Amino acid sequence: MTSAFKLSRRVLLQGSAALGATTLLAGLPFGSAQAKDIAVGFIYVGPRDDFGYNQAHAQGAAALKKLGGFKVLEEENVPETVAVEKTMESMINLDGAALVFPTSFGYYNPHMVKLAKKYDKVRFLHCGGLWSDKDPANAGSYFGYIDEAQYLSGIVAGYTSKTGKLGFIAAKPIPQVLRNINAFTLGARLANPNVTTQVIFTGDWSMPVKEAEATNGLINQGVDVVTCHVDSPKVIAETAEKRGIMVCGYHVDQSKLAPKGYLTGAEWNWEALYPKLAKSAQGGEKIPNLVRGGLKEGVVKTSAYGPLVEEKARKHADDIKAKLTAGSYVIFKGPIKDNKGGTVIAAGTDRGQTDIELEKMNYLVEGVLGAIA
Amino acid sequence: MVVIGGEGALVLGGLAASAIAMTMPSAAPLVVQIAMAVAAMIAGAAWIALAGGLRHWRGVNETISSLLLVYIAIAVFNHLVEGLLRDPASLNKPSTPNIGDANMLGTIPGTDIHWGLAYGIIACVLAYILIYRTTFGFGMRVAGGNVKAARMVGLPVGRLVLVACGLAGASAGLAGMVEVAAVHGKANASLIVGYGYTGILVAFLARHNPLAIIPVAIQLGGIGASGGLLQRRLGLPDATVLVLQGLIFIAILTSEVLYGRLPWLKRRPA
């Protein structure tokens, strides 16, 4: 076979012209910043406008941008593979990032740890709370006790539900998620001891079709308040609103998606934390290796109450919120039984927020309908 | 014959590789790596051979069955990673135990590219030799193109189909092993990111020629890698990468249709 095309001079010229144009384009000063600004990179595992986990982080980045003095770099849909290493290196080498926020849990090990060792002048702050003293000193990890806000959602849901059946759509039966399900149920049973929470695990963080099916299935069983722990609560909130039931939000405020049925929600408050962490990096302060906090530290917050929340529910929730904010309330306070009848926290034992045992949670409390395995 | 279930063979290959590494904590790194590669290839080969077997003995369309098998493979993978093979210390991201730093494949000296690139190039060259330079490969091409014609000339169609599927699955399984041994050090949900599906696009754009896969794969990888800068410098959404890939796809499809029908696309006499 001979070549079907021959390169004519005209084609060659056209090609070089195109090449020249591309070079010119690359030379333009896109997104240039003033020399003094420090560059801060944010990496998201999903779309930044997902009404959920990633949007919460993007709102934090937006707050930093508004502050001024920082050049904010963002990348979305970066998988937890070698791709995130390349993204971090590119932010550091091409854009001079001095501080990087890889915001997904799976970015930490091996990816971020590896890069933190390689670039020891750059600060790495990861969302997930995983740092241990074996990890590099220029790395850090932060997380929030969002189960406090879930507990408050539970109280509101317990008062507002008419059927006494709540629904929880969860991604995976891992400690973080179980803690939210349990806190939500404990809160609801504080309001009404007969309430049950039916839990459905979808198996992954972003499964919109399964999440919609689960919501519909729960509603068909008589559930009249749903909440969730998945990356994007969007379809759950929309389905609940369409079917005329109530919903408690997660990650960010979803009241726009369900103006009638939105009760309240457990939200991250990265808008407060990120400017704080970035300023401390700008000032050259020592990196905080492990940052954790709940309502008291302002790392999490709750959504404003929706129209269906009665005065009694507001009052009780506000009361507990004040105690949690003051740091004088314990959610996981014995005796607590699991849903198989065994005692998981003995009477007289208080498991405060910082208790390491809570991070190994492997049970569902009494009142939760469903199983882990 | 078109098999598109590489994703399933890849994740199971990665799982088999990390599972075998768990059983040999004190073996020499080279032994562990070879065992991982062999285990991954067997797992991948068995998985895609299933689709081949279904096609040969039950007449099930292999394109569809191999795609559906991906979902089963991912379910099996999740079940084992979150159950039997789970490292108890991996609390919030269920994973198999780490294979150990000594057993990692590492990077090609002088670059930050891991050895997976070499594996890929060698696999492409071997596949080219097998398909275009051996009698077996010729038989495979005939059986793949027209089963009736292949039967008529007395080719063992069943064996060819099974072996071809097995080899394809073994390659995907090996890719899973490389992901585990060069990047993650363990098997977890990070393996399920669609590399198997990207492989379909690469194979199509390379017009099923193993040697053409090398430049096409590098080109598609480059487009994927450019996504970060497109987002940061030009403020474009991440989907831009998909649009670029789609443009290439459409250009190839269009040129296929128009080839020889437009005056300036006429084949010139030799």
User: Is this prediction's ipTM beyond 0.95?
Assistant: no
Residue of A nearest to B260 (CA): A4
Residue written as token pair 């670029």? B244
Per-residue pLDDT of A321-371, as tens digits, reads 999 999 999 999 989 999 999 999 999 999 999 898 999 999 999 999 999
Probe site for chain A from B81, B190, B195 (most A CB atoms < 10 A): B190
Q: So where are chain A's domains?
A: 38-144, 147-267+301-369
- Please give the backbone phi and psi of residue A168, each rounded to the nearest 5 degrees, phi first: -130, 120
CA A269 vs. chain centroid, Å, equals 10
Among A35, A74, A112, CA closest to A274: A74
Note whether A265 and A248 are within 8 A (CB): yes
How far apart CA A150 and CA A179 sit, in angstroms, is 9
Does B229 sit within 8 Å of A81, measured CB to CB?
no
Among chain B residues, the shortest Cα distance to A178 is held by B92
User: What does the pLDDT read at residue B237?
Assistant: 86
Q: Is B229 on the interface with A (CB under 8 A)?
A: yes
A227: closest CA among B70, A128, A218?
Answer: A218
Q: Under CATH, which architecture does the A38-144 domain have?
A: 3-Layer(aba) Sandwich (3.40)
Which long-range CB contacts under 8 A does B105-108 form with residues at least 24 apart?
Answer: B105/B33, B105/B178, B105/B181, B105/B182, B106/B182
Q: Tokens 């919903």: give the residue.
A: A247
Interval A46-70: pLDDT, tens: 999 999 999 999 999 999 999 989 9
What pLDDT band is residue A32 in, cutting at 50, 70 and 90? very low
Q: What is the pLDDT of residues A259-302, one digit of tens each?
A: 999 999 999 999 999 999 999 999 888 888 999 999 999 999 99
Degrees to nearest 5, angle at CA B243 with B240 and B245: 110
| B residues 120-159 lying closer than 8 A (beta carbon) to A | none
Would you state the structure tokens that stand for residue A329, as one six-digit string? 């309330």
Crossing angle for the helix pair B240-258 and B210-234, nearest 10 degrees?
140
Domains A38-144 and A147-267+301-369 alike in fold: yes
- Where do the structural domains in chain B lie, given as residue ranges? 6-192, 206-270
Q: How many CB pairs under 8 A join A and B?
A: 73
* Percentage helix, strand, coil for chain A under 3-state DSSP, each rounded to 5: 40, 20, 40
Q: Which residues of chain B have pLDDT under 70?
A: 265-270
A93–chain B Cβ distance below 8 A for any pair: no
CA distance B39 to A68: 54
Query: Domain A147-267+301-369 is in which class?
Result: alpha beta
In terms of phi and psi (left: phi > 0; alpha: psi -120 to 50; beta: otherwise), the region of A40 is beta
Q: How many CB atoms lie within 10 A of CB A180?
A: 25
Best residue of B71, B76, B91 to probe chain A, by most A CBs closer than 10 Å: B91
Confidence of residue A10 (pLDDT cuts 50, 70, 90): low
Query: Is A90 close to B228, i.e. CB distance below 8 A?
Result: yes
**DSSP H or E run through A148:** helix A147-160
Summarize pLDDT for B210-258 with one digit per residue, the tens.
999 999 999 999 998 888 899 998 888 888 999 998 999 899 889 888 8
Provide the 10 A C-beta neighbour count for residue A340: 10
Burial class (CB in 10 A: 0-12, 13-18, 19+), A314: middle
| Mean pLDDT, rounded, for A113-121 | 94
What are A217-236's pLDDT values in tens digits?
999 999 999 999 999 999 99
User: Taking the mean position of all CA atoms in its chain, how far away is CA A29?
Assistant: 34
Please report the pLDDT score of residue A37 as a whole number: 82
Which whole-number Å values give the CA distances from B157 to A20, A49, B146, B161, in the listed order? 53, 52, 10, 6
Distance CA A321, CA A324 (A): 5
